[in-house]
Amino acid sequence: MLKSLNFINRVTVSSLSKTRNFTSQVNKETWDKYVASNKKPVVVDFFATWCPPCKQLEPVLVKAVEDYGKCDLYKYDISEEEGFHEKFGIQSIPHVIGFHNNKIVFEFKGAIPASQVKKHLEKFDEHLGEK
C-alpha cells in the first residue's frame, strides 16, 4: 500500500505491522546523506535499467529487505554517472552491497535466489552483534 510520496522520491511502504522506507535512487550527490551517514544498515543495489538480471533481482531484493525490516534500500543506476561506482569495485551488475557506518558488511553479484539474499541480510545481525 502506498502511504506517502515526498519530494526526494522517497516512498513509505506500509504493511500491517511495519513501515519501511525505500528511495528509488541515490546518486553521487545524495550518497553521503542517504548511504554514508545513515545510522541504519543500508543495502545499495547497483543496477542499470537496460539490465535483464537487474530487473529479475529487483522484486526479490525489495521483498527480502522488507521482510528483514532492519535496513534501508537504495538503488544506484551506474549508467547515469561515470566512475563513482568504480570506487566500490563494481565491474558487473547487478551488484549489491550492504553498508553499515559507511563500511561494507556484505556484497553479492548477480540475480540470486531469495534464500541467498536473506543470508546476506542476516550478516547485518552478525555485524550488529544481534546473533
pLDDT tens series, the chain, 131 aa: 333 323 233 333 333 334 444 556 899 999 999 999 999 999 999 999 999 999 999 999 999 999 999 999 999 999 988 888 999 999 999 999 999 999 999 999 999 999 999 999 999 999 888 76
Q: In this structure, what CATH number is given to the domain that contains residue 115?
A: 3.40.30.10
- Asked, for residue 87, whether it belongs to a domain, the answer is yes
Residue 18 included in any domain:
no
Q: Is residue 55 in some structural domain?
A: yes
Question: What is the total count of domains within the chain?
Answer: 1
Task: Judge whether 14 lies within some domain.
Answer: no
pLDDT, one tens digit per residue, over 20-52 is: 445 568 999 999 999 999 999 999 999 999 999
d(CA 47, CA 57): 10
Residues 24, 5: Cα–Cα separation, whole Å: 11
Which of the residues are catalytic? 51, 54
Q: Is residue 50 part of a domain?
A: yes
Pairing of strands 95-100, 72-77: unpaired
Give residue 98's domain range.
24-128
Q: What residue has cell string 513501515?
A: 19
